[in-house]
Each structure stands twice: as structure tokens, then as C-alpha cells.
Structure 1
Amino acid sequence: MKKMKLGILAGVVALVLLIVCFGAITIVPAGHSGVVVTFGKVSERVLDEGMHFKIPFAQQVVMMNNKIQKTEVDSNSVSRDLQTVSSGVAINYHITKDASAEIYQNIGEQYADTVLQPAIQEAVKAVTAQYTAEELITKRSAVGDEIGETLSNKVSEYGILIDKFNIVNFDFSAEFNAAIEQKQVAEQNKLRAETEKEQQIIEAEAAAEQKVIAAEAEADAIRKKAEAEAEANEKINASLNQNVLRYQQIDKWDGKYPSVVSSDSSILVDIPIEDTTEATGSN
């Protein structure tokens, strides 16, 4: 009976020692830091990743996530031209290891809801109020960068760092959307009219140029024809001589002598004359 009691006692002691041993060891996972709390008091010492020893029952280690986290927020604001703007933003952020203990002590583990969310709302409203609704659309990238910078300045003092800020969407009132659509339609119509006008001008210029080319070609053809005729006439004139002219005159003569023949007559034909004497003798 006594041995049984000693065995039970030894087992209890062993169990207690085992619990104490396990309670004296803590493991900080990757991407986290361990905030040591001793009897409710937060220590400035922050544990790195890995295995550490702590005082059982007296100390506890709170794990603070130092990985990049993401949050999405919907915000309502007003633009510079008093248009209602509904914004959807996405933020990547993380807390630094050095600020983990201070964040846990002063803000708590819900720091995203306590500090980050209100800062996002404030930054979005402050920046969108500096732009017109149309500028928020056309300068979306610049607006996003400015909101991200404003937000970073607000939360960095708490040890919260903004890694990336994105504007997911901008939504406006139905009236503003209709006005934007009408403006786009008007601009498209204007662009179409200008394009058609330019096309007409180009076609008119092309037609005029074609006419000039045709006129120049026609004039050039007439000039070449005249030059060819002149050259042919020169060759003909050069080839003509008195014999050719005489032949042409004889060829064209109808066999009749002119009633009047001048010394300047150009028709000179040698006509054989029969011997009249012989003719008379025969009679």
C-alpha cells in the first residue's frame, strides 16, 4: 500500500515536472515576434522566431504577426466639385518587430480595426477632396499614390508600415455617370466630324493634284506632238529640191497650157514639136 502511494506521488511529481518543462518553453513561429508579458506587465524584450524559455505560470508570450497582411475598405467621400465618391481600396501592410510590444501594449491585437481602418478613411477623404470627380478618373494612379503616402504618414508612427495601396474602384452618382457618358459621346462625335472633314480635305487635295497631273501630262503630250511635227517638217523641207518640186508640178498638171504664161511661170514642160516641114511636103 505504501509503495502504491509512493508510485502515485512519483507519477504526480513527474507530471508536474513535465507540465513545468513544457510551460517553460515557447516557440515563436516564422513571420512572428513574441511579446513577453510577466504577471500582466508587457516587457520591452521581444522574442525572435524559434524556441525560447520563459518562467512557467509567471510569463506568457503573445504572438504578433509581422507578415504582410491585406485589408480592403469601402469609403464614401466628396470630390472638390462636390460629387459623391464611393471608393474601394486595398492595402497591404505589416507591423515591425521593434514596434510589436508597443502596439500590443498601447493598441492591442486589434490594431487594424483600431488604428488602420480609421486612418484609411481619413486619408481617402482628405485626398479626394483635392480633386474633381473627372480628375479622380483621369489621374487615378496619382491619386492612389497620394492617398497611400498620406496613409503611410498617419500610421507609421504606430509602427504600421504600408507596403502597397491600390484603388480598387471609384463609383459616382448616376447623374454624374450620365454626364460623363454624354461628354464622351459628344467628344466622339466631334472627333468623328473632324476625321471626316480631314478625309474630305485629303480627297479634295488628291483630286486637285490628279487634275494638275493630268493637265501637265496633256500639255506635255501636245508639246511632244508639236515638236515631232516640227521635226518631221524640217526633215521634209530638207529633203525637197528643185527636181522633186518639178516632178510634183508635172504630176499635178492637167495637160492644158495656161492662157497666159509669164516668165515667172513655174510650169516649164518640154513638149516635143513635130517637123512641120515634113508634114507639109507630104501634103
Structure 2
Amino acid sequence: MATNYNDYFKKNNDNDNNSNNTGGGFTPPELPNFLNKPIVWIIAILIVLAIFAKPFVVINQGEVGILSTTGKFDPEPLNAGMHFYIPIFQKVYVVDTKIHIINYKRIAEAGSMNDTRGGIKLYPSINVLDSRGLPVTIELTFGYRLNPKTAAQTIATYGFNWEDKIINPLVRDVVRNIVGRFPAEDLPIKRNQIATLINSKMQEKLDKLQSNPVILESVQLRQIILPNKIKDQILSVQVAKQQAQRVQYEVLKAKQEAQKRAALAQGMAEAKKIQAQGTAQAITIQANAQAKANKLISESLTPKLLQLKQIEVQGKFNEALKVNKNAQIFLTPGGVVPNLWINAKDKQKASVSK
């Protein structure tokens, strides 16, 4: 039976009037006329339900929303912003699409393998057998993120724990296959090559998955833990190499010193040779010059010139005779100068004049 709100308020007003007439009670104020309409109450109830039911969701940057209608996921993701949905019939799941990190390490001190710290997960390090069956432990860091375009398909296929179903098994499988190709002692030397192979193989595996659920960001090979026997072997090899390099260095140094001394000796010999050649050339040049000078002098000695020179010398003798009148003079045949004179008073003393 429908309730007549007008009759209800009219009856209440009549009761209030009767109370006033009898002189007792408080008279409430009359409600506005628009509240007497049923549609107003219906809208108010819907508003209250909307506030409590919250039929909208806000998606932040680095997230996407997955709209589920009666249990079926909409393939189109809800990007950042406000989105409305119908409560009871629809629901929005917000998933993170930012970069996540998995650290594979010895985590005895780090707690549970499911320990998550701001998008960083800790997983046990990966135990591998090398090409000869020796145990090796690998620690690495794997960076990835959920593909926002196919997030709905990924959640529908793998569930919300898709990381444990996709990433962890693939990483362990790839690392074991690649590291197992090498002997343990070669792993530290070929570290960069192994990291590149792991990265390319992981990308290849992820690309083959349906809907391309994960985007690979980085693979960092952080540590290769070898057996103690292999460590000692590598250390002994390194020591031997260092000793060989030291001996090679000493030999090279001695060889360089010998070459240096030989070069210095050769340089000194060349210098002396050049000096001797210079001296010889100087003597030759001087002799040639003297010969030329003598030749020129001999060519210039004409009979008249010799006679003139004889007259000049005879004049000097004449001057000498004026001083020493007792001197005896001997002239060489032909009147060639120089001439010799001897003091008759002191025959023990001789003098030569040129």
C-alpha cells in the first residue's frame, strides 16, 4: 500500500495545531514544499548510496586499471585519471606498471624470498653446474615491468602473482643453460659475455610468450661465486702469470738497457769519427791552402824579386857591419838568403837570422 506523504504531514500538522490549542508542546517548523515530492527522496537516497558505494576509481601514473564486469576482464586498460564503474556488477583492479627489481642473492640475512621493499624482491641465488659439473653460484639483478597494453590478458592468464609464474622460472632456466656452457675458471674472465648472453636469451624467451606480458629493462650479473678449489687454482694461475710478466719485464728492461748502452757507445763512436773526419778535413783544407799559398809564393819569386830581396838583406848586413866591424860574413852560393855572419871576437857564440 502506497503511503500518501501529504496526508501524513497534514495529520501531523493537525496534531500540532491541537497541541497548540491546548497550550502545550513544541511546534516544529513546516518542511519546504519540494521535500513533499517522492522524487526528491529517491535522489537523496541514490546520492547517499553513491557516496558509500564509491562508484569511481582514480588511477595514478605508473599504474593501469583492469575493469572486470561480472568477472570478465575488459582487454582495454584504464589509464591514469578518474574512471566510473557500476558497483556490484563491475570492479576495477589497479596494477603497478612501474619497474620492478628482483635480486637473486644469498639471502640468509635478508629474510623471506617474498620480502618486497618498494618494488624490489629478494630471491635465492641461482645454483648452477658448470660444463664439468662443478657447482657455481650466480647472483644477479633483473629489472622488468608489466606491459600496460596487455595487463588485462596477463592477469587473466597468470593471475596477480604473475611474477612468480613468469619471471623467476625463466631467469633460473636461462642462467643455468648459459652458465653451464663454460668451465668455472672461465666465468670471471667471460663475465661480460655471459651477461650479454643472459640478457639476449631472456628477451628472446619473453618475446615468445603470449600477449608479450613483460617488458625487459635490465640484467646485471653482479657476482659469480666459485668453489674454493677453483678459486685457489685461478689464484695460482694469476700468480704464475704475474711472475712471468715480471720476468718478461726484467728481460725487456735488461734488453732496453743493453740497447741504450750500445746506442750510447755507437753515438760516441760516431761522434769521434765525425770529429776525426772534421779534424782531417781541417788539416787537409789547411794543407791545401798552404800548398796553394806556397805555389803562389813560388810562382811569384822571379829572378828580379830574388835580387831585390838579396839587396835588402845585404843592406841589413851592411848596417850590422857598421856596428860590429870585426864580423866575418859568408854568402851562400848564388847569393841566396838567408846569409850567415859570425862575430870574430866570440866564435863560441853563433846566431842565425832569417
Aligned to 1:188: 242
Aligned to 1:54: 85
- Number of equivalenced pairs: 247
1:235 deviates by 4.7
- Mapped pair 1:43 → 2:94: no
- Mapped pair 1:102 → 2:160: no
Q: Which has the larger radius of gyration?
A: 2
Which ranges in structure 1 are unaligned for 5 or more consecutive residues?
244-267, 274-283
Aligned to 2:221: 167
Cα-to-partner distance string for 1:73-95 (whole Å, 9 max, x where unaligned):
22111222433221111111111
1:20–1:56 CA contact under 8 A, matched in 2:
no
- Mapped pair 1:210 → 2:210: no
1:16 deviates by 6.0
Q: Which amino acid aligns with 1:35?
A: I
TM-score calculated relative to the size of structure 2: 0.59
Aligned mates of 1:20, 1:233 — CA distance in 2: 128
Aligned mates of 1:272, 1:109 — CA distance in 2: 144
Aligned to 1:19: 49
Aligned mates of 1:53, 1:233 — CA distance in 2: 119
Aligned to 1:76: 127
Once the two structures are overlaid, the 10-residue window that deviates more, 38-47 or 220-229, is 220-229
Aligned mates of 2:82, 2:147 — CA distance in 1: 20
Equivalent positions of 1:1-283 (< 5 A) are: 14=44, 17-21=47-51, 22-73=53-104, 74-156=125-207, 157=209, 158-222=212-276, 231=286, 235=290, 238=294
Aligned mates of 2:181, 2:71 — CA distance in 1: 46
1:42 deviates by 2.8
TM-score calculated relative to the size of structure 1: 0.72
Three-state SS of the structure 2 residue aligned to 1:37 is strand
Three-state SS of the structure 2 residue aligned to 1:109 is coil
Aligned mates of 2:135, 2:69 — CA distance in 1: 51
Which ranges in structure 2 are unaligned for 5 or more consecutive residues?
1-7, 13-27, 105-124, 302-308, 310-338, 345-354
1:63 deviates by 0.8
1:72–1:90 CA contact under 8 A, matched in 2:
yes
Aligned mates of 1:39, 1:135 — CA distance in 2: 57
Aligned mates of 1:269, 1:29 — CA distance in 2: 134
Distance 1:109 1:217, change over 3 A: same
Aligned mates of 2:162, 2:97 — CA distance in 1: 13
Cα-to-partner distance string for 1:190-214 (whole Å, 9 max, x where unaligned):
1111111111111112212222333
1:147 deviates by 0.7
CA RMSD of aligned residues (A): 3.8
Aligned mates of 2:177, 2:287 — CA distance in 1: 94
2:130–2:136 CA contact under 8 A, matched in 1:
yes
Once the two structures are overlaid, the 10-residue window that deviates more, 136-145 or 58-67, is 136-145
Aligned mates of 2:342, 2:79 — CA distance in 1: 147
Aligned mates of 2:100, 2:133 — CA distance in 1: 34
Distance 1:199 1:63, change over 3 A: same
Aligned to 1:276: none
Distance 1:69 1:272, change over 3 A: closer
Higher relative contact order (CA closer than 8 Å, sequence separation 6+): 1
1:141 deviates by 2.1
What is the aligned-residue identity percentage? 21
1:223 deviates by 5.3
Distance 1:133 1:269, change over 3 A: same
2:131–2:183 CA contact under 8 A, matched in 1:
yes
